[in-house]
């Protein structure tokens, strides 16, 4: 795992470093009184408060209202350096400390602005690091300064940043850096109250090499000049996990009057063509749930090492290139990230255990957009695929993570939420409510919900209270309180869940059954007309293991081995590994070496490590691929390999 570095105690009078000067930030040197606070007793190390079990922050005492960043991007050192200035709202007039979350951050200096405009050194303690939560940074603030500034630099091993050499990019000429702050990785590149309970506006001044374009989750100008000096503003208050930055050889292609794509030059035209329906998606969502409130909606297509499908950073969705297939078959990913502009970015979950409020309603809105633009048949197929995955994920070992209202203490790591719970079950619950109350009524409710809680972070309990007043009590006899509560508090899927069928999947089932019963291969002309989801459904219905010659025969028709489609690859390659279909090993190595999206590669790694030969191959592949993986992905792969060596492989 990544090494941890921290300061046990920092006293005052630290000199400004060259890294700060390189960032162009010299305000810390001005107006600092000669009198030192070196004799001020150090603040006591912070403990997790219970407000948010994954943050040391104390937002009931003091909150960040605004963040001003001065940063320099250093590709040689693989670090961000500079300062963060916080405008604070002291809620408790007697409170005298500020606690921030950090991970692998070196704090060089902390100063506070006094009422007379002078800046004075403040005493701080950076506690020993917890493996998951990082280090609490506790600052003594006896005068409860309205503004505090921290000078710092990040570690090359920051979990929320990935640094790519030119060879790891599509263009092979310019290095690339990008962030991934969700769930609690923002604390690895900015000292923060890294909890969704705190929302803040921000500005940033970022310097970089002149051949690099820098973008942030803020007001990016499509006509910005690439000169190594960039300024940003985010006027809407956001939680820390939506703070984002990227830098690389990026160009812009429009997809509409208020939308477009940023990508490397060779990828930009393909991405703009694939995501050309973005403006239509925005218009569809606005008709249902009210105006888009974030100005522009642009998409940044990242290198293949991005560990997720997409990240809903406001104004600048980060997206995986694996969604670009040439036939728009996977653009529901963009519908999903756009839907977060209402569910998640506008109304945000207050704690990691409330994550379904973000992802469940977003997945529901995504399906409504897909249905409107691409038809109910496609939306239904996507639902069935997701619900089949849920059935595989839900086991007796994770019953405590299956309720929508996960109990406190269950999630040791906020990344441990089940996909099936927060995405699929959450969306299924929304569809249950739509079915019972009627689509028109539920649409009006959801729009009212987004308006009522706009720019707020809420808990499951708050949602339940709002739904009781505006659905259950307002329209009696539709849904009982017991039915409603079962979705929130019980494991599994309630018997009240509405079911979906697909005639196209029925046809796929018939083709598969005919092959398994008789050995007759499917007709190539027939299957060539299938969509991604039909191929996925075909593979998912095959036996867990098959004879290698059977897979070779299927390959002669479907050409699954070597597919550029990650959704197909993540299902075909595990089957190939389980079945001893070694002819696919070269393609498996190429796929795992090229793609860093966890969802797509972890199933294959998980199968490889179950045998000595497969474990050896997995280690060989990972050794070559590691440099191009995001730290989040590397951690996942290393854990699977370590578990296999310790005899903890899951069946």
List b or e across 18-56, with b for residues whose CB sees 16 or more CB atoms inside 10 angstroms.
ebbeebebeebeeebeeeebeeeeebebbeebeebbbbb
Catalytic residues: 337, 423
Q: Are 284 and 369 in contact (CB under 8 A)?
A: yes
Structure tokens at 170: 């599509």
Burial of residue 626, with CB atoms counted within 10 A of its CB: 0-12 exposed, 13-18 middle, 19 or more buried: middle
The answer to whether 153 touches 80, Cβ cutoff 8 Å, is yes
Determine if the peptide bond prior to 416 is cis (ω within 30°). Answer: no
**Helix axis angle, 426-437 to 376-393, nearest 10°:** 130
What is the DSSP-derived secondary structure letter of residue 45? P
Strand order, beta sheet including 316-319? 251-256, 259-263, 297-301, 316-319, 310-311
Contact 252, 194 (CB under 8 A): no
Q: Both tokens of residue 450?
A: 């987004």
C-alpha–C-alpha distance, residues 461 and 488, integer Å: 10
Within 10 angstroms of residue 234's Cβ, the number of other Cβ atoms is 25
Q: Pick the closest to residue 558 from 534, 587, 580, 577 (CA basis).
A: 534
């Amino acid at each position: 795992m990544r090494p941890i570095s921290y300061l046990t105690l920092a006293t005052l009078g630290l000199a400004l470093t060259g890294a700060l000067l390189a960032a162009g930030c010299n305000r810390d040197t001005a107006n600092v009184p000669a009198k030192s606070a070196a004799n001020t007793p150090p603040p006591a190390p912070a403990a997790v408060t219970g407000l948010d079990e994954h943050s040391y922050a104390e937002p009931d005492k003091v909150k960040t209202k605004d963040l001003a960043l001065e940063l320099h991007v250093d590709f040689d050192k693989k670090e961000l350096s500079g300062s963060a200035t916080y405008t604070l709202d002291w809620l408790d007039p007697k409170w005298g400390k500020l606690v921030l979350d950090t991970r692998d951050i070196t704090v060089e200096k902390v100063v506070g602005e006094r009422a007379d405009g002078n800046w004075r050194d403040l005493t701080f303690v950076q506690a020993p690091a917890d493996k998951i939560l990082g280090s609490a940074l506790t600052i003594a603030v006896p005068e409860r300064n309205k503004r505090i500034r921290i000078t710092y630099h990040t570690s090359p091993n920051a979990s929320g940043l990935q640094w790519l050499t030119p060879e790891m990019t599509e263009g092979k000429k310019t290095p690339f850096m990008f962030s991934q702050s969700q769930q609690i990785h923002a604390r690895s590149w900015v000292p923060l109250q890294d909890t969704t309970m705190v929302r803040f506006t921000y500005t940033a001044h970022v310097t970089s090499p002149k051949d690099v374009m820098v973008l942030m989750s803020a007001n990016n100008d499509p006509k910005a000049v690439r000169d190594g000096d960039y300024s940003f503003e985010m006027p809407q208050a956001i939680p820390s996990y939506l703070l984002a930055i990227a830098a690389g050889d990026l160009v812009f292609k429009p997809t509409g009057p208020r939308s477009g794509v940023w990508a490397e030059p060779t990828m930009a035209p393909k991405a703009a063509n694939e995501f050309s329906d973005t403006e239509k998606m925005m218009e569809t969502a606005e008709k249902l749930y009210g105006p888009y409130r974030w100005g522009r909606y642009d998409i940044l297509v990242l290198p293949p090492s991005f560990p997720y499908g997409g990240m809903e950073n406001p104004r600048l969705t980060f997206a995986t290139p694996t969604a670009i297939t040439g036939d728009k078959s996977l653009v529901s990913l963009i519908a999903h990230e756009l839907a977060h502009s209402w569910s998640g970015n506008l109304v945000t979950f207050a704690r990691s255990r409330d994550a379904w409020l973000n992802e469940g309603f977003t997945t529901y809105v995504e399906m409504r957009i897909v249905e409107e633009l691409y038809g109910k048949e496609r939306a239904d197929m996507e639902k069935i695929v997701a619900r089949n995955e849920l059935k595989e994920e839900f086991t007796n070992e994770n019953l405590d993570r299956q309720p929508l209202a996960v109990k406190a203490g269950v999630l040791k790591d906020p990344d441990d939420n089940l996909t099936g719970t927060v995405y699929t079950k959450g969306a299924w619950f929304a569809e249950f409510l739509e079915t019972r109350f009627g689509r028109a009524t539920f649409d009006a409710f959801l729009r009212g919900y987004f308006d009522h809680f706009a720019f707020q972070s809420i808990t499951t309990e708050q949602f339940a209270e709002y739904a009781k007043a505006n659905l259950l009590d307002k329209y009696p006899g539709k849904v009982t309180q017991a039915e409603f509560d079962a979705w929130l508090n019980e494991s599994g899927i309630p018997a009240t869940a509405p079911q979906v069928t697909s005639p196209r999947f029925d046809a796929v089932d018939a083709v598969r059954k005919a092959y398994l019963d008789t050995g007759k291969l499917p007709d190539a002309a027939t299957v060539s007309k299938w969509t991604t989801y039909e191929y996925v459904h075909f593979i998912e219905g095959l036996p867990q293991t098959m004879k290698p010659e059977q897979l070779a025969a299927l390959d002669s028709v479907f050409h699954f081995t070597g597919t550029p489609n990650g959704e197909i690859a993540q299902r075909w390659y595990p089957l190939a590994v389980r079945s001893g279909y070694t002819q696919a090993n070269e393609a498996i190595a190429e796929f795992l070496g090229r793609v860093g999206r966890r969802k797509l590669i972890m199933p294959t790694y998980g199968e490889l490590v179950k045998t000595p030969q497969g474990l050896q191959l997995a280690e060989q592949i990972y050794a070559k691929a590691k440099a191009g993986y995001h730290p989040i992905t590397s951690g996942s792969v290393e854990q699977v390999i370590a578990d296999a060596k310790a005899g903890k492989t899951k069946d």
